[in-house]
Each structure stands twice: as structure tokens, then as C-alpha cells.
Structure 1
Amino acid sequence: MSSSDDQIMQAEHRFGVRFPADYRYFLATEGSLGRFVPPADDFIMINSIEELIDVNEVGDFQERFPKSVVIGGDGSREMLTYDFRQEPPPLVLLDVSAQDWSSAIHQAASLSSLLEQFPETGWRWDDPEPSLTTAR
């Protein structure tokens, strides 16, 4: 189910951010996503707008990762997260047990880029990029 502009604006207000245009478009047209993506054969999940607040309030995520907004994940322990410490905010993976940004693993500069590359690359498990771990 897609999201209304009002729901999107309410979520932005709740988190004190303006979502990137491609994510806003995704929410308005697709709403959510959950599936295995061939040929990478990795599972990707993007939460619906209704799930955002609950997902972000679990496990002190906002306290451990200031200026973050979790939008999905791998269906297990890894949380797909916007890093709003940067402009534009990149997407990173953070394990649910991570204590700070030093564990962030860069995935893509935008949701569009992630969805485009995902069938070939799946999740990236490289070392965290230094620019993502620097506190701002």
C-alpha cells in the first residue's frame, strides 16, 4: 500500500528530516518492499511509512545513532538506515547490536542507486567507510 503525502510529511516532522525525493516517491508509489532479489539472491525489505516510528524506537536506535532513520533491512539483524548527518544522506547497514556509527557499512548514495545495483551486488559487507564513522 502506498503512502499519502500527509503520512510522509508526518514522518518527516517526527524525525526532523526531509526524506530524499526518490524515497518519498517510493513511499508514495510502492509503499513497502520485501523479497528475495535474484541473481544476488539477497533479501531486501523496505518498511511501510506506518512501520517507521516503531522500527526506529526499538533498541534505543535514535540514541545510539543520532540523525538516523531506519527504513528497512535484510529481514534479520541488519538495518537499512539513512545517515542524516550528511547531505544528501547515504544509506548504510547497521547491525541491531551496534553501539555507534563506527559499524556503519555504506550501501549506496540513494535509494534509487541501491535498488538499481541490488540485483547484481546484493548487500555490501565491506569495511565501513571512514567518512561514515566520523561524528559530525
Structure 2
Amino acid sequence: MGSNDDQIAQVEHHFGVRFPQDYRDFLGTTGSLSQFVPPADDFLVIDALAELIGINEAGEFQKRFPGAVVIGGDGSREPLAYDFRQDTPPLVTLDVSAENWSSAIYQAPSLSALLGQFPHTGWKWDDTDSAHS
């Protein structure tokens, strides 16, 4: 377990953030996820810790979305990211072709909330799908 904690700390240091505890716990137990989730029948990907730096650098997400750390997505064009511009970073989706935060769509306040609601709601595709603060 100590080794995994060290790897998490290294990735956090790379991005200059501290991941929320539920995400840290997910990384330490489940690690990653890539599957269709019934009954919503939407595809959900949560990337492995070892892939995070490469994925974020390849997409130049920090340049286009300062404060974003992509952790997964829908397996296609919509990366799932933490929005670290906020003190308690929510999860949002970002269109891979977007140039800035204007197209971000709020998904959930935490990974635990996302995983709990996802089977019922699937992905939210516009801001009218959710009331957030």
C-alpha cells in the first residue's frame, strides 16, 4: 500500500494538486475502470494512475483548461476531469476539441457521487441536466 500512496503523491505533485480522498481510495483499491454501466448503458472510463500524466500531457489539457486533471471519460471525445479551480473540485466533462472551460459540463461533486448516480443517469450532456453550485 505504501508504494501506491507514493505513486499517488508523485502524480499529485506533478499536477500541483491533492486528489479528493474518495478518488485516492479508488486508486488504491479498484485502480481503474472501463465498462458499459447498466441500466444507463453509457461507457465509463476511470484511467489507471500510471496513465494520468501521459493522457493529460498528450491532450495538452492543462494549457487549454488550467486547473483540470483528466482522470477518465466516456471512451470517446469527452474526457472526465477534476476542476481544481475550485476548493472542492467537482468532476466535469470537457470536449476534446474545446479551447477553454466554456464547454465544460458539470457531472458530479465527487467520484463517489458520480459512481453512485452513473448507473441511473449516465453522462450529463448539458448544464440543464444538473443543478450545481
TM range (shorter): over 0.9
- CA–CA separation in structure 2 for the residues paired with 1:43 and 1:105: 17
% of aligned pairs identical?
A: 69
1:31 aligns with 2:34: no
Please report how far the alpha carbon of residue 60 of structure 1 lies from its aligned counterpart in structure 2 after TM superposition: 1.9
- CA–CA separation in structure 2 for the residues paired with 1:61 and 1:24: 21
Please report how far the alpha carbon of residue 40 of structure 1 lies from its aligned counterpart in structure 2 after TM superposition: 0.1
Any unmatched runs of 5+ in structure 1? none
Deviations 1:83-108 (A, max 9, x none): 00001000000011111001000000
Name the amino acid aligned to 1:13: H
Q: Counterpart in 1 of 2:123?
A: 123
TM-score by length of 2: 0.93
Name the amino acid aligned to 2:37: V
Match of 1:118, SS state, is: helix
Which runs of structure 2 are paired with 1:2-13 in the superposition (5 Å)?
Answer: 4-13=4-13
Which runs of structure 2 are paired with 1:51-130 in the superposition (5 Å)?
Answer: 51-127=51-127
TM-score by length of 1: 0.91
Q: What is the RMSD of the two structures over their aligned residues, measured on CA atoms?
A: 1.6
Moved over 2 A (4+): none
Deviations 1:78-132 (A, max 9, x none): 0000000001000000011111001000000000000000000000012388x89
Any unmatched runs of 5+ in structure 2? none
